[in-house]
């Protein structure tokens, strides 16, 4: 495995592979890796010849009062995890490599970036879209892997790739959870034991709603209420919304199209997000549309 910090070195390292017709997979991350990230790596390894993991805590996606300076970092450990997972290249540029002092051009996402996190984190998806677009241009992957845990991010990136004709396949991998259901997140390390127990109500709420949906409930309010009941022990519920999984607009009752129940909440001072997708059972032998 190679660790590379500059674009020049990266291009050099990938040029030979490309000449040999190798397929390049990219897993963009902000580091402090966990099994969720490693699932993306595994997916990349099965679908590409070369897996590049980028590790870059992207300042442009953090608001002024967010946790950029305290975002967890452990590069040595990340490198070791990548080596063990069979990563080919870790690309870990510093901030100036990605954003030279003259930098001034951004990717501006549209309506998909407005609801949910977009309503509470102004500029967040502009920062995400910009850095992912730059990483696509730096690595020029054939295929890139993202986690469903960041559901809105997946939607914004897919749309960006289509709108800007970026020649990369986008693959979304299901959320990897701890054995008790808590979605894995680099931010989980901020949680005390007591907060960790209360954070569990986030996934419990989502699963309660998903159970109701599986039993036939199609009323949006009832589904949201089923989740909200469980969520009483978070410190601040930022949003809990059932949205159409393609448009991210509020889902309409009765549900007839795949929807995503998305939540963001603070437990102590830790901000956590999670979601479940409510997709309709496919008619026999067919895949359900949009699931």
- Catalytic positions are 37
Task: Please select the residue that binds ligand AMP; options are 126, 149, 196, 198, rule is CB under 6 A.
Answer: 149
**If we measure between CA atoms, which residue out of 38, 8, 52, 7 comes closest to residue 142?**
52
Are residues 134 and 10 in contact, defined by beta-carbon separation less than 8 angstroms?
Answer: no
Angle separating helix axes 124-139 and 151-163, nearest 10 degrees? 60
Show contacts with ligand AMP in window 89-148 (CB under 6 A): 146-147
* Sheet containing 270-278: order of strands: 236-244, 259-267, 270-278
Residue 30 is a binding residue for ligand AMP (CB under 6 A): yes
Residue 25 is a binding residue for ligand AMP (CB under 6 A): no
Rounded CA gap, 199 and 235, in Å?
A: 9
Residue count at the site for ligand AMP (CB under 6 A)?
Answer: 17
Show contacts with ligand AMP in window 172-231 (CB under 6 A): 173, 175-176, 183-186
Residue 29 is a binding residue for ligand AMP (CB under 6 A): yes
Show contacts with ligand AMP in window 250-269 (CB under 6 A): none
Residue nearest to ligand AMP (CB): 147
* Sheet containing 143-147: order of strands: 2-4, 89-91, 50-55, 24-29, 143-147, 169-173
Least distance from ligand AMP to the Cβ atom of residue 175, Å: 4
Q: Which is nearer to ligand AMP, 36 or 127 (CB)?
A: 36
**List of residues contacting ligand AMP (CB under 6 A):** 29-30, 36-37, 39-40, 146-147, 149-150, 173, 175-176, 183-186
């Amino acid at each position: 495995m190679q660790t590379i910090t500059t674009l020049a070195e990266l291009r050099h390292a990938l040029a030979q592979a490309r000449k040999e017709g190798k397929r390049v997979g990219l897993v963009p991350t902000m580091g402090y890796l966990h099994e969720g990230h490693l699932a993306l790596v595994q997916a990349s390894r099965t679908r590409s010849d070369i897996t590049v993991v980028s590790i870059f805590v992207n300042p442009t996606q953090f608001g002024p009062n967010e946790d950029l300076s305290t975002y967890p970092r452990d590069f040595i450990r990340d490198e070791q995890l990548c080596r063990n997972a069979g990563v080919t290249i870790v690309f870990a540029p510093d901030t100036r490599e990605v954003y030279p002092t003259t930098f001034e051009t951004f990717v501006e996402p549209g309506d998909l970036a407005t609801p949910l996190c977009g309503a509470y984190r102004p500029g967040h998806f502009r920062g995400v879209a910009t850095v992912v677009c730059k990483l696509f241009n730096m690595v020029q992957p054939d295929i890139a892997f993202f986690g469903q845990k960041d559901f809105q991010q997946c939607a914004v990136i897919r749309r960006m790739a289509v709108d800007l004709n970026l020649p990369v396949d986008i693959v979304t991998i299901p959320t990897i959870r701890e054995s008790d259901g808590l979605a894995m997140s680099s931010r989980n390390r901020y949680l005390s034991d007591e907060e960790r127990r209360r954070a569990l109500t986030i996934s419990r709420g989502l699963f309660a709603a998903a159970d109701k949906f599986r039993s036939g409930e199609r009323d949006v309010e009832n589904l949201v209420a089923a989740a909200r009941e469980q969520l009483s022990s978070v410190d601040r519920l930022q949003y809990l919304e059932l949205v159409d999984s393609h448009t991210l607009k509020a889902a309409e009752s009765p549900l007839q199209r795949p929807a995503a129940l998305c939540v963001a909440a603070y437990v102590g001072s830790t901000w956590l997000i999670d979601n479940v997708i409510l997709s309709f059972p496919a008619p026999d032998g067919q895949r359900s549309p949009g699931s």
